[in-house]
Copies of this chain bind each other. A is one copy, B any other.
Amino acid sequence: MGKTYEIVPEGGITAPKGFKAGGLHCGLKKTDRHDLGAIVCEVPAAAAAVYTTNLFQAAPLQVTRESLAEESVLRAVLVNSGNANACTGKQGEEDARTMRAELAEALGVPKHQVAVASTGVIGELLKMDRVSSGIAQLPAKLRGDAQGSDDFCQAILTTDLVKKTACVRLDVDGKTVTIAGAAKGSGMIHPNMATMLGFITTDAAISAALLQELLREATDVTFNMITVDGDTSTNDMVIAMASGLAGNRELSRDHADWTAFADGFRYVCRELAKAIARDGEGATKLIETTVTGAESDEAARAIAKTIIGSSLVKSAMFGADANWGRIIAAAGRAGVPLNVHTVDIRLGDISVLEQSRPVAFDEEAALEYLKGDTVAIHVDLNMGSGRAVAWGCDLTYDYVRINAAYRT
């Protein structure tokens, strides 16, 4: 049994050495909640990012891409909520550039070392006077403690109900390395990135190239395996920054502590992904779908995502209805081959289908289980060793309420 990571429940994105964060209300949200925030690193941090697959990419994504293309190094990430700055044409791009330049100047760093992210309504121009005055006040709000992390986390929320963070600690070369993350996302959430905003900080020494590979791999099995509503946003990205201040020898895939580090990194991504799914718009519960026995991991992923994305499955879970017919129907339309005679389905520990045949089960016990705040759906295809896990949430009255009048 190799070394592993330790979970730090109270840790936030400022826990790794070198990072400060903060947030404030500049006036983009109608409420008085924070709507502008930043993460700042006291040294140039090796940086990596993954972006939405939506063809309509918001202005801040273009600008962030340009920043990272320069030298894959970031000193700061600036985020606003309340307005996505998407489908805003040339003016929107100019606004994103202005945001980047203003924070760079306020911090005294090159502008290509600043990334920009936005989330909120599509198609409206940013109120730049408010944003600019907020940016001017932001440096004074930055803190290296839990409050700084908390303020930032509040600043990135839209319809989210809870702040989402995760943190782990592990030893690398006898030095303590910390990995932390923060995320937002509640609607327009769907596999293939395109999902939400995620920010990972670590004080490990790691090259930007390896950090990019790790982020991509981790995203595939975490952020890309969640869905709230099947919709893919124009704005979403995950950014990782490594300050290197932990003092470890630079990580490589051959490093003795690589596995522990990569596991810890994936843990942080997975916890954030699950937190987003659980906090899906209107959701009352987290649904975790595990598909095993598939011909390949890819086939398992397709089926897990189809089940977790099915409106009928999601509604049934809201109603605590053990309606496995909808689960098998979703599996059957996932677009991958399967043996229709060998499927097992369990809800938690309750077997409801074996070899594609209904099993008499205790409906009362199933109802009790499905009323819980976490539901595990396990589908075993009994064909091969392919495996995948996907996360989502139930479809509720509140999802409809929230989305029937989002702009108003």
**Is A130 an interface position by the 8 A CB rule?**
no
Chain B residues with Cβ below 8 Å from A407 are 321, 323
Min CB distance, A249 to chain B, in Å?
42
Q: Once the chains bind, are B55 and A333 in contact (CB under 8 Å)? A: yes
CA distance in complex: A157, B232 (Å)? 34
**Is A277 an interface position by the 8 A CB rule?**
no
Q: Chain A 48-61 against B: per-residue CB contact (8 Å), 1 yes, 0 no? A: 00000111110000
**Residue of B at shortest CB range from A405?**
B319
Q: Chain A 301-342 against B: per-residue CB contact (8 Å), 1 yes, 0 no? A: 000000001111001101101011110111111000110100
**Residue of B at shortest CB range from A367?**
B408
Q: Once the chains bind, are B231 and A403 in contact (CB under 8 Å)? A: no
**Is A126 an interface position by the 8 A CB rule?**
no
**Is A399 an interface position by the 8 A CB rule?**
yes
Interface range on chain A (Cβ under 8 Å from partner) = 35 or more
CA distance in complex: A350, B404 (Å)? 20
> Which residues between 55 and 103 of chain A lie within 8 Å of chain B, taking CB atoms?
55-57, 84, 86-89
**B311, B326, B337, B403: which contacts A122 (Cβ < 8 A)?**
B326
Q: Once the chains bind, are A400 and B318 in contact (CB under 8 Å)? A: yes
**Residue of B at shortest CB range from A56?**
B332
Q: Once the chains bind, are A358 and B229 in contact (CB under 8 Å)? A: no
Q: Chain A 326-366 against B: per-residue CB contact (8 Å), 1 yes, 0 no? A: 10111111000110100000000000010011100000000
**Is A298 an interface position by the 8 A CB rule?**
no
Q: Once the chains bind, are B333 and A53 in contact (CB under 8 Å)? A: yes
CA distance in complex: A271, B197 (Å)? 43
Q: Once the chains bind, are B311 and A56 in contact (CB under 8 Å)? A: no
**Is A121 an interface position by the 8 A CB rule?**
yes
Looking at chain A's contact residues, the main secondary structure is: loop
Copies of chain A in the complex: 2
Min CB distance, A267 to chain B, in Å?
28
Chain B residues with Cβ below 8 Å from A321 are 404-408
Chain B residues with Cβ below 8 Å from A309 are 230
Min CB distance, A226 to chain B, in Å?
15
Chain B residues with Cβ below 8 Å from A175 are none
Chain B residues with Cβ below 8 Å from A57 are 340
Chain B residues with Cβ below 8 Å from A315 are 399-400, 402-404
**Residue of B at shortest CB range from A313?**
B231
Q: Chain A 228-270 against B: per-residue CB contact (8 Å), 1 yes, 0 no? A: 0111111000000000000000000000000000000000000
Q: Once the chains bind, are A231 and B312 in contact (CB under 8 Å)? A: yes
**Residue of B at shortest CB range from A341?**
B89
**Is A188 an interface position by the 8 A CB rule?**
yes
Q: Once the chains bind, are A122 and B328 in contact (CB under 8 Å)? A: yes
Chain B residues with Cβ below 8 Å from A401 are 397
4 residue pairs, one from A and one from B, having the closest CB atoms: A122-B325, A319-B404, A315-B403, A56-B332
Name 20 extra pairs, CB < 8 A, besides A56-B328, A87-B328, A230-B311: A54-B329, A54-B332, A56-B329, A84-B325, A87-B353, A89-B356, A123-B328, A188-B312, A188-B329, A194-B333, A229-B311, A229-B312, A230-B310, A231-B310, A232-B329, A234-B329, A315-B404, A316-B403, A319-B405, A321-B406
